[in-house]
Structure 1
């Protein structure tokens, strides 16, 4: 069995996720196969920018998919994405909708049936760009039972209103052939003409294989955690052409075609990763950040920072601070930074300010 260290794993992921390149296109950007989470001001487009991509607006589409989060995909891939991001089974669907599964079960409604029902209503209602709140209210009203909100709806204390459970609403949107208008807050949904799940999809878009390729070597538990799916469903969809790799004493798996890339030299350079960059989405957080205190700082319950990726590893966290029309990047390093790393952080901070369209006021290092 091949063996690898944590440093080998991180070096593999940096190169596989193309964080070491200066230029590319949406067509050749690997992370778009799994989807690029578009959360926060330094979300999907920043994740592409630090991989050298400035996409044309028409190339990309935004949809609620894995974990109900908004993700960027190549527009041409949407029919396949609609297929591969759907729940594997009824048990998987129940897990993905969280607390919404209980009232549906009590009413004798399978979750997959509920998703199709919600999708059908959404398809009828959204015939033109429509704000999320209007869609939710219309679907909620359509599925209520007289004075009884019914199993599809819940009372929301913060809103002081009855509306659809959030996860079924989000997971049904792509089933209904709906995408999100980019950059809208609150979100605006709009129909994608003729969108339907594709019967056969390329291997590169299979979510289990894509995780193993981009975030491997990994275990079924890691993949299940990322997809928010049951481990048994992930095992049932486990690719045949994977090889075992021992990583610091743990058995993991990697596509056979990728095994030869483990042990390659560590890429040099600095990137300021956004809080939800795919590199930080791996479910083996101990491999990414070995120190428990640093993990707590990297993934707090609320208000995630970004990560300083320096020479193949996480060297600290960063946060943006805005004052008027200026940006300050506050960096908390976890190790002594070399002059080259400091210069790289300065360069990346300038790049971030240009991306946001504001001047960089300062880089502050704790």
Structure 2
């Protein structure tokens, strides 16, 4: 149950903020009859650098779902699109919101290129390459090597010059705008061909797709972010998007009439106007968040000292770990290792678990096995693997 706070009641405790976020993220209890795209929308995108982690993170939030449901949403009905999202990282995004995402992300002030002048492209060259990418992918799913050849044919051989230092080799020049092409809506991910990643144009699956105008898209994305991670601030919004803080402040100022300022134990923060719902219950329960899910929960969330108290900060903040949530804050980390259908789960709590929390953990491990379609076993002990890159 949730209750709507009156407009005058603008003070929230951190426990209320935590309870609200668990509820919005379907972590209080899994959603019944929800579609994967609805869960991804509620969390303002799902980090998908590791697809198995994205599948697990979404399916754990839906009662009875497995990784097959997420794959069907992505590759069969295309209600999810794998694309470059916030911070230029790989995300699953709701197809119905792709216009908002591309319109907003392409409006973010660009960062300074890290490449020397000899590697960079002029503004005109950037436009030529982005157009070439969209044209090459409009009727195809291409590997990066195939796309390099196609871009060189359409834009000119200079676009394929191997000038970008990357992983002890050199990438072709055009790849420095790969993320930009994604943000412009001319490139998204196709299904893998064996071990090879493929790219395509989202219009192949969404013929009516067009990026929304920035003046409409940016406020909508801000509202989506605040719904998922609020109450929040311009500084944290900028961090989440990897955008300049000055730009984020201007976005908040422009959207001022659509936002509500609240006080979180002495710190000002903002929520979407009219969305001051707060659960009646205190944050509770044990949850396992996979790789990048816990990272996203941190990046968009309240300050680290409140989300990762005590020993949790020492164990978790140094890397991208799979985290154990206890009553809405980080209470440990975990790891799974698969061999055939056997899934060995190791959980390292950094807080003492009550008997009820230990039972809750057993249920979570069982659900991990159901989602990943394997047979899980649980060991309580130290996680010895490092964080994921």
TM-score interval for Structure 1 and Structure 2 normalised by the shorter chain: 0.7 to 0.9
Contact 2:131 2:186 in 1 (8 A): no
TM-score under structure 1 length normalisation = 0.82
Contact 1:66 1:227 in 2 (8 A): yes
Q: 1:213 to 1:157 in 2, by over 3 A?
A: closer
Structure 2 equivalent of residue 233 of structure 1: 247
Match of 2:273 among 250, 253, 256: 256
1:272 aligns with 2:293: no
Query: What's the offset of the Cα at 1:143?
Result: 5.5
Structure 2 equivalent of residue 196 of structure 1: 210
Rounded to whole Å, the distance in 2 between the matches of 1:69 and 1:362 is 32
Rounded to whole Å, the distance in 1 between the matches of 2:251 and 2:327 is 34
Structure 2 equivalent of residue 135 of structure 1: 147
TM-score under structure 2 length normalisation = 0.78
Pairing 1:106-117 to 2, within 5 Å after superposition? 109-110=122-123, 115-117=126-128
Contact 1:156 1:163 in 2 (8 A): no
Structure 2 equivalent of residue 246 of structure 1: 263
1:285 aligns with 2:304: yes
Rounded to whole Å, the distance in 1 between the matches of 2:217 and 2:87 is 21
Extract structure 1 runs of 4+ deviating beyond 6 A.
104-107, 200-205
Contact 2:333 2:349 in 1 (8 A): yes
Query: What's the offset of the Cα at 1:140?
Result: 6.5
Contact 1:68 1:167 in 2 (8 A): no
Structure 1, unpaired ranges of 5+: none
Match of 1:36 among 22, 42, 46: 46
Q: 1:365 to 1:232 in 2, by over 3 A?
A: same
Structure 1 equivalent of residue 114 of structure 2: 99
Q: 1:117 to 1:204 in 2, by over 3 A?
A: closer
Q: 1:186 to 1:247 in 2, by over 3 A?
A: farther
Match of 2:188 among 179, 183, 204: 179
Contact 2:336 2:343 in 1 (8 A): yes
Query: What's the offset of the Cα at 1:32?
Result: 4.9
